[in-house]
Amino acid sequence: MRSRATVHFAAWMFLSFVFSGWAVPDAAIGIATNKYTVEVAKFAALPAPQPGGVLLVGSSNFRKWSNVVTDLAPLPVTNRAFGGSQTSHQLMFFDQVVPPCRPGLIVWYCGSNDIKAKKDAAFILGRTEEWISRVKQMDPSVGVLLVSVIRAPQKHRDSQIDVVDAVNRGYEEIAKRKEGVFYLDVNPALQNSAGDSKAELYVEDGLHLNVEGYHQMATLLKPAIEKIWGKKTN
């Protein structure tokens, strides 16, 4: 059951502006009425991680990774992915998710739900670049690792693979031209030699990974994080 403090978080944010006599900014209205407000508010009650660690942000394929700390050990990982979030949600809740964790490296997995909502690659890449700019404004030394959108069976069924591939090419291009931004394609760990999705690595919906799927993704993701984060800490 939700605590009273958590349930009323959105109302408190809204009313704090009203009773102060300030105009309520559009961003505050958006946060106060968003379906992820309560979920994100719960992050504030969690123990603050040590500064300089690895922060995972994004949508449900990260949120559902219940064994992430074990799979990526001994890396100092904090998972703040939420809901079925889209890139616009990551921008909306940036201040509640990123600065409190004081990360050294942020690992981004987002865009899949934008594609499901029929957003095009240009829109997704634009929002991602906005988010990266927020990170660099916060602290230019923080690294960002963009993880490819997974070419899941659901994306094949919904005829959205072309958009997935366009977003991934865009992520790779962003990493090439922005300092401190990196790209990793995790799809080779989740496909066969013909480039087809391995259905056995997914749960029934054909979108989210199962335990073995996460384990396979970690075989590529963990070394990439170690390489980037290790350079920052040495």
Give the SS3 label for residue 3: coil
Give the pLDDT of residue 204. 94
Question: Burial level of 162, CB count in 10 A (0-12/13-18/19+)?
Answer: exposed
Core vs surface per residue 105-116: b (16+ CB within 10 A) or e: bbbbbbbbbbbb
Residue 51 lies in a domain: yes
Same domain assignment for residues 53 and 163 = yes
List the CATH number of the domain containing 153.
3.40.50.1110
Q: Is the confidence at residue 53, as pLDDT, over 90?
A: yes
* One domain, residues 21 and 94: no
Clarify whether residues 68 and 163 are in a common domain.
yes
Q: Do 21 and 136 lie in a common domain?
A: no
Residue 233: which pLDDT band, with cuts at 50, 70 and 90?
low
Q: Look at residue 40 and tell me if it is in a domain.
A: no
The H or E element spanning position 183 is: strand 181-184
pLDDT number for residue 165: 97
| Number of domain units in the chain | 2
Dihedral through CA 108, CA 165, CA 65, CA 8, nearest 10? 60
Q: For residue 11, what pLDDT is reported?
A: 45
Q: What is the pLDDT of residue 111?
A: 97
Average pLDDT rounded to a whole number, residues 81-94: 94
Q: Which domain holds residue 140?
A: 47-233
**Whether 29 and 141 share a structural domain:** no
**Is the CB of residue 70 less than 8 Å from the CB of residue 121?**
no
Express each pLDDT in 139-193 by its tens digit: 999 999 999 999 999 999 999 999 999 999 999 999 999 999 999 999 999 999 8
Tell whether 146 is covered by a domain: yes
Are residues 53 and 14 part of one domain?
no
71 and 171 in a single domain? The answer is yes
Predicted pLDDT of residue 34: 73
What local confidence, expressed as pLDDT, does residue 194 receive?
87
- Which candidate, 225, 219, 29, places its Cα nearest to that of 143? 225
Half-sphere exposure of 113 toward its Cβ, with a 13 Å CA cutoff? 18
Other C-beta atoms lying within 10 Å of the C-beta of residue 100: 16
Nearest C-alpha neighbor of 210 from the set 74, 71, 81: 71
Least trusted range by pLDDT, from 36-40, 76-80, 119-123: 36-40
Residues 135 and 22 placed together within one structural domain of the fold: no
Percent of the chain with pLDDT over 90: 79
Q: What confidence tier does 79 reach under pLDDT thresholds 50, 70, 90?
A: very high
* Phi, psi angles (nearest 5°) of residue 107: -105, 120
Q: Are 1 and 93 members of one domain?
A: no
pLDDT the model gives residue 30: 57
In a domain, 16, yes or no: yes
100 with 190, same domain: the answer is: yes
73 and 14: one domain? no
What H or E segment, with its residue span, contains residue 163?
Answer: helix 161-177
Interatomic CA distance for residues 222 and 97, integer angstroms = 22
Quick check: is 42 in a domain? no
38 assigned to some structural domain: no
Q: Is residue 189 part of a domain?
A: yes
Residue 120: pLDDT band with limits 50, 70, 90: very high
Query: Mean pLDDT score of the chain, rounded to an integer?
Result: 88
Say if residue 206 is in the same domain as residue 126: yes
Q: Is the model more confident about 234 or about 226?
A: 226
**Residue 161: which residues within 8 A CB-CB, separation 6 or more?**
151, 155
